[in-house]
Amino acid sequence: MSASSINLAPNLKAYPNIDNILIEVKYREGAPIAKDDAIIELCDEASAAIVVTKNANDFGVHNTDGKKDLLRIPAFAFLYLLGNAEKHGYRGID
């Protein structure tokens, strides 16, 4: 089977609101996000922008100068939600 005959993209019609989801992982405590970071510059083009943090206390909305804000979420919570979405599927927000 040639590479041109393989459909690398799944049928995305089942997910009408699908778009890129940006995820940045911060390994340090209280790692700041600069205004010129790629996730800040590209968050307006994505359906969501998530910063995965190290501490359980580091969560909430990170305000940006753009139209969309970032979501800060601890690593354990992010992994739980990711596993849940993989197990049960994810349809997005209609």
**Contact at 8 Å (CB) between 72 and 51?**
yes
The confidence score (pLDDT) of residue 90 equals 67
- CA-based nearest residue to 43, from 73, 13, 63: 63
**CA separation (Å) from 60 to 4, 12, 79?**
43, 30, 16
Q: What parts of the chain have a pLDDT lower than 50?
A: 1-9, 11-12
Q: What is the pTM of this model?
A: 0.71
Indicate the number of domains in the chain. 1
> For the segment 33-42, what is each residue's pLDDT rounded down to a tens digit?
888 888 888 8
Q: Establish if 41 belongs to a structural domain.
A: yes
The confidence score (pLDDT) of residue 14 equals 53
Q: Establish if 23 belongs to a structural domain.
A: yes
Q: Establish if 94 belongs to a structural domain.
A: no
Q: Establish if 72 belongs to a structural domain.
A: yes
Q: Establish if 27 belongs to a structural domain.
A: yes
Structure-block tokens of residue 55: 């501490």
Q: Establish if 69 belongs to a structural domain.
A: yes
Q: Establish if 11 belongs to a structural domain.
A: no
Q: Establish if 8 belongs to a structural domain.
A: no
Domain that holds residue 64: 17-88
